[in-house]
Amino acid sequence: MNQESDMKREITTPKKPSKGLLAVYRVAVTLVLVLIGVLVAGSLYAIVRPADAGPLFYIGRQDGGGHGIHGGGFGRQADGDPADIFSGIGRLRIPLAGQPPATVVLSVSFPYPADDQSFAEELATRIGDFRSITIEYFSALSREEIAGLDETVITNEILARYNALLRLGRIRELYFTDLIIID
């Protein structure tokens, strides 16, 4: 009898997954397969699409309010040439001189010729210089001085300093998309 009891084994079958867990698994696998299908279809489309084809669609504003170096080429300069908007300087937070302590928050942007690639490259290489000029100019002013200045005076002064750096072109207009003084 001892031999018989040694030969007996208990076999347990694995538990079946719950119906909820099985549904989640099926949805996840389906999503992964759909994503793979979309990536394959997009890759094939990119291969057969002509190299000089324009974008299929745009995301965001299309009125020249772009970001980075190229704003999309939707504006025109005063002389009628197509223009992109340079806003690569970004938003600056500059502590002001004087008491009480205050900070100016501003963003600088300007149009430039859309078809002038060398000038666009020069602008991209000068972003640090543009930021330094702007910070240097505003950090020397107090809250009262900025509040008392005309925006045209500030614009012309910074525009002159920017253009003094540039060799391949000139900036004709300069815009402050934000100019806020925070106490």
The CATH number of residue 143's host domain is: 3.30.479.30
Mean pLDDT to the nearest integer, 60-83 = 50
Q: pTM (2 decimals)?
A: 0.56
Q: Which amino acid is at 17?
A: P
Domain range holding 175? 75-182
**CB 183 within 8 Å of CB 122:** no
- Is the pLDDT at 13 greater than 80? The verdict is no
Q: Report the pLDDT value the prediction gives residue 147, as an integer from 0 to 100.
A: 80
Residue, of 29 and 4, whose pLDDT is higher: 29
Is residue 70 in a domain?
Answer: no
Does 44 fall in a domain?
Answer: no
Distance CA 169, CA 28 (A): 54
The verdict on residue 82 lying in a domain is yes
Residue 43 in any domain: the answer is no
Span 74-85, average pLDDT: 61
Q: Which residue do the tokens 């031999």 mark?
A: 3
Query: Is 9 contained in some domain?
Result: no
Asked if pLDDT for residue 26 goes beyond 90, the answer is: yes
Q: For residue 55, what pLDDT band results from cuts at 50, 70 and 90?
A: confident
More confident residue, 33 or 53: 33
Q: In the predicted model, is pLDDT for residue 82 greater than 90?
A: no
Query: Within 10 A of 94 (CB to CB), how many other CB atoms are there?
Result: 18
> pLDDT higher for 84 or 4?
84
Query: Nearest Cα to 87, choosing from 75, 72, 71?
Result: 71
Percentage of the chain exceeding pLDDT 90: 35
Cα dihedral 67, 69, 71, 77 in deg (nearest 10): 130
**In-domain check, residue 166:** yes
Identify the helix (H) or strand (E) that includes residue 110.
strand 103-113
pLDDT at 157 over 60: yes
Q: Which is nearest to 157 in space by CA: 146, 167, 168?
A: 146
pLDDT of 158 strictly over 70: yes
Residue 57 has pLDDT above 80, yes or no: no
pLDDT band at 80 (very low <50, low <70, confident <90, very high): low
Beta strand 82-86 pairing with 103-113: antiparallel
Residue 4 in any domain: the answer is no
Alpha carbon distance 128, 138 (integer Å): 16
Of 181 and 130, the structure prediction assigns the larger pLDDT to: 130
Q: Write down the pLDDT at residue 6.
A: 61
Residue 119 in domain = yes
Structural domain total, the chain = 1
pLDDT band at 70 (very low <50, low <70, confident <90, very high): very low
